[in-house]
Each structure stands twice: as structure tokens, then as C-alpha cells.
Amino acid sequence: MQITEIYKSLQGESTFAGLPCVFVRLTGCNLRCSWCDSEYTFSGGRRMSSAEVEAEVNRLSPPRGRKRLVEITGGEPMLQERELIPFMRRLLEQGYIVLLETSGERPLGNVPKQVHKIVDVKCPHSGAADTFKDENLAALSEHDELKFVLSNRADYEFARDFVKQRKPKVKEVLFSPAFRKDARGERSASQCLLDPEQLAQWMLADGVEARLGLQLHKFIWTPETKGV
Ligand code: SF4
């Protein structure tokens, strides 16, 4: 697999937020979201065998028998599906809780059912609108999560209507304000493209069945910090 980085941190943006987690960040992405904070994953990285990645995950994780969380992210990890699927199966066999962060642009039908998919449906202002494949809704289960990263009212309305019309059968729907791409220094909601208070008001007014999520790691570490 082509790997940008493997590190231990706290999970930041799902119902697992706040839990210790090992991240495996795969290199390469086929989208170019306007607010992307992971452009360093688009190229480079280093070639590692699945066994080498697994050994590093084991080294960074608590011993077997304790809660062991691994998130596969990117870039777009499903671009390396051929090696990734057997790799995730091996992690599951070892008792890991496996999270997969993906845009849902690639088919998700082959992902093992026990993997918790966190699917980041791209909204209009991301610059990658209409990339989510509707057929992937059928591949989602009640332990998966759908995430919408929102920059403005148009994004919010897209997400609200998506949930209302398609009624996804998932554990949770997450609405999260996008962070400014050029955010530096201050750890504050003022660095969000969409004010969380404004988003909360819209969600309450519309009675949206979703959870407001903040990118936890952007409030713990300064927004420009990588590898967290
Ligand atoms: S899918 Fe993720 S990694 Fe790819 S451009 Fe969008 S935000 Fe960046």
C-alpha cells in the first residue's frame, strides 16, 4: 500500500470522537475539495507491505484484549481497494474496531460489513458535488455514519434535503462546519467557514435528524498541526 503516515491520536469527527485511535493515512485522492486540509496526501508517501502496516498498527495500539481502534483514511483509501480490503479483514480478525473514512465516490459493496464506514458526502461548496454514488446507500448499515462538511447555507440545505429524501439507514448523520483551509494559530470556532451557532440554529429550526459535530482535533491542537 502507498502510505502517507501512520500515527496515534484521538479520533476527531464521528461518534467515536475523543477515543484513542491509530490512523493509517493512505496516499492519493481523486477529488479536490476546496477546503481540503490533507493535500499533502495527494502524492508521495512510501510503499509498505500490508504486513509492515499491520506491524506498525500493532506497535502503536494497546495490547490485545483492550479496546483497539484503527481508522483507515486518506486521501481516498478506497483507491487502493485491492490491498485494503484484505488488510481490513486481517485487522478485524485481530479484534480491532476498524473505521473507514471515505467519500463514497468509489463502490463500497466489498468493504467487510464489520467495518464502520464514515462516509463524507460532498456538498456543493466543496467543489466535489455529485461525487457520492447513490448505489452506496445500499451498502451502508446501522453501524455506519454519513457525514456532511458544510461551508454555507446552500451546503446545509443540500445535506438537510439529502437526509430527508433518502432516509439513510445509518447509525448517525453528522453535520460538521468546514474549517478554513488557511486557518492558523487560534483554536476557535471563528476559524470555521460556517459558524457552529448558526448551524445549530438551522438544525433546531428544521428539526433535522442529525448530530452537530465539530472537528475535535482542530480545537485540541492548532488547526495547521499535521499528524494528529
Ligand atoms: S476527499 Fe478528502 S483528501 Fe480528498 S480532496 Fe476531499 S477532503 Fe481532501
Atom index in ligand 1 nearest the CA of residue 103 equals 1
pLDDT tens figures, 190-214: 889 999 999 999 999 999 999 999 9
Which pLDDT belongs to residue 83?
98
Q: What is the DSSP string of 167-188?
A: ---SSEEEEEEPBPTT--S--S
Using 50, 70 and 90 to split pLDDT, how confident is the model at 184? confident
Which pLDDT belongs to residue 4?
98
CA-nearest of 11, 18, 32, 16 to 129 is 32
Choose the residue to mutate in 27, 29, 41, 148 for probing ligand 1, maximizing ligand atoms within 8 Å of C-beta: 29
What spacing in Å lies between the alpha carbon of 14 and ligand 1's midpoint?
A: 16
Phi-psi region of 104 (alpha: psi -120 to 50; beta: other; left: phi over 0): left
H-state helical runs in the chain = 50-60, 81-93, 153-166, 196-206, 216-220
Q: Is the CB of 181 under 6 A from ligand 1?
A: no
Choose the residue to mutate in 35, 38, 226 for probing ligand 1, maximizing ligand atoms within 8 Å of C-beta: 38
CA-nearest of 205, 208, 149 to 176 is 149
Give the total residue count for the chain.
Answer: 228
pLDDT tens figures, 68-103: 999 999 999 999 999 999 999 999 999 999 999 999
pTM score of the predicted model: 0.96
CA quadruple 216, 213, 33, 134: dihedral sign: positive
Task: Mention every residue, 6+ apart, whose C-beta is less than 8 A from residue 131.
Answer: 31, 103, 104, 105, 122
